[in-house]
Amino acid sequence: MRRLAIAILAAGLALALPALAQAHAPKPPKQIYDAVSAVLKDGAAEMAEPDSPPPDVDFSIPPPEMFTPVDINGDGKTDWKVDYAAAPNPSLYCGTGGCQVELWASQPGGGWSKVMDELVRASTVTRKNGVTRLDLDFHGTVCGGSGVDPCGRGYLWDENTGWVPTANSDGKTWIYGGPIELNLYNRNDRPADVEAAFDRIQALCPSGGGGAERSAWTSYRIPDVNGDGQSDWIVGGAYDTCAVSGDEPHKVLPVLVLVSAPDGGFTEAYSRPGVSFGVDIGPRPAALYAIPADTFCGGDDGALDKPCGQRLRWDAGKGKFVE
């Protein structure tokens, strides 16, 4: 009889503990909760079938497990991580590259700003001795490998510039294909010289129906590569093309390296079509490598941890990179 009573008590505790933990889970601020709820609501609308009965679960309600308090900027206010792996309909936000993760940082004037929104397999935020470190694991192809390969990237938080690439948790400083830009730039945030570079690329596309697929083009900030201490930019990508119709062949467009200039702007320092770039952030300034589309960087263990492609040399006299 006593064993039966103990078993019943244990079963009751097993049911009660998750509910208790959920009741005491930290609650995110309304601004973040409402933003996440809006995302889930849009996802629920996409899933809805016109002739089907409504689901038993309200997919627009974020469960507490989606929200984790973190410390990003050390201002004494709680920052937040939102993990869509815990969403009521995670299949909409997860794939072979992991699940969508957001980071929200408190702002001096009040409220929170979203400072990261990426599909990752794992994410860890740590703050020690006044330094915030973010470790992410991306899909293996991001690092030039296969999907199952590890792809660890490290970032440090800078209050003025946001997330800055650093060595990953294994101490590796080679960033195949350039860093993933975590900071949420939109067109209005990009420097005018970056926008002008897009215009120069677009001018290479055929006129009269051969406009560029500009909405899909890439640009991202890279660590200092010309030695002036300022961040630089890559504009365009190896697979950016002009929009074409019929049997017209795709035009391979150049990818540009823009380096910071003394006047505060950016100037073109290298141009090459159909190429991607890798950056080794170990040296100062960082070393820039051009990786042509036909370059195989190797699939053996450790091969993708080392620089690959052609290292470009900075010629200060010319203000250009040379091969």
**Could you tell me if 167 and 197 lie in one domain?**
no
Does residue 86 lie within any of the structural domains?
A: yes
pLDDT at 249 over 60: yes
Q: Residue 208: pLDDT band by 50, 70, 90 thresholds?
A: low
Does residue 6 lie within any of the structural domains?
A: no
pLDDT at 19 over 90: no
pLDDT in tens, 214-233: 655 688 899 999 999 999 99
**Could you tell me if 259 and 136 lie in one domain?**
no
Sign of CA dihedral 300, 304, 308, 313: negative
**Could you tell me if 306 and 219 lie in one domain?**
yes
User: Which has the closest alpha carbon to 213: 248, 256, 242, 245?
Assistant: 242
**Could you tell me if 265 and 154 lie in one domain?**
no
Sign of CA dihedral 95, 241, 191, 312: positive
Does residue 11 lie within any of the structural domains?
A: no
Does residue 44 lie within any of the structural domains?
A: yes
Q: Give the number of domains in the chain.
A: 2
pLDDT in tens, 152-180: 999 999 998 899 999 999 999 999 988 88
Range of the domain at 31: 23-172
Tokens 């215009």 found at: 199
Q: Do 279 and 206 form a contact (C-beta atoms < 8 A)?
A: no
Q: Do 181 and 221 form a contact (C-beta atoms < 8 A)?
A: yes
Does residue 9 lie within any of the structural domains?
A: no
pLDDT at 7 over 90: no
pTM of the model: 0.83
**Could you tell me if 188 and 271 lie in one domain?**
yes
Does residue 114 lie within any of the structural domains?
A: yes
On the 0-12 / 13-18 / 19+ scale of CB atoms within 10 A, 223 is: buried
Q: Which segment of 50-64, 126-140, 297-311 scores lowest on mean pLDDT? A: 50-64
In sequence order, what are the residues at sequence separation of 6 or more whose Cβ sits closer than 8 angstroms to the Cβ of residue 80?
28, 29, 32, 67, 68, 69, 70, 103, 104, 112
Q: What is the largest CA-CA distance in the chain?
A: 90
Q: Residue 304: pLDDT band by 50, 70, 90 thresholds?
A: confident
**Could you tell me if 81 and 221 lie in one domain?**
no
Does residue 126 lie within any of the structural domains?
A: yes
**Could you tell me if 113 and 198 lie in one domain?**
no
**Could you tell me if 292 and 221 lie in one domain?**
yes
**φ, ψ at 159 (rounded to 5°):** -60, -25
**Could you tell me if 223 and 154 lie in one domain?**
no
**Could you tell me if 101 and 202 lie in one domain?**
no
Beta-bridge mates of residue 157: 163
Does residue 323 lie within any of the structural domains?
A: yes
Last-in-domain residue among 118, 151, 172: 172
pLDDT at 186 over 80: no
pLDDT at 85 over 60: yes
* DSSP secondary structure letters along 12-81: HHHHHHHHHHHHTSPPPPHHHHHHHHHHHHHHHHHH--TTSPPPSS-TTS--GGGEEEE-SS-SSSPEEE
**Could you tell me if 113 and 222 lie in one domain?**
no
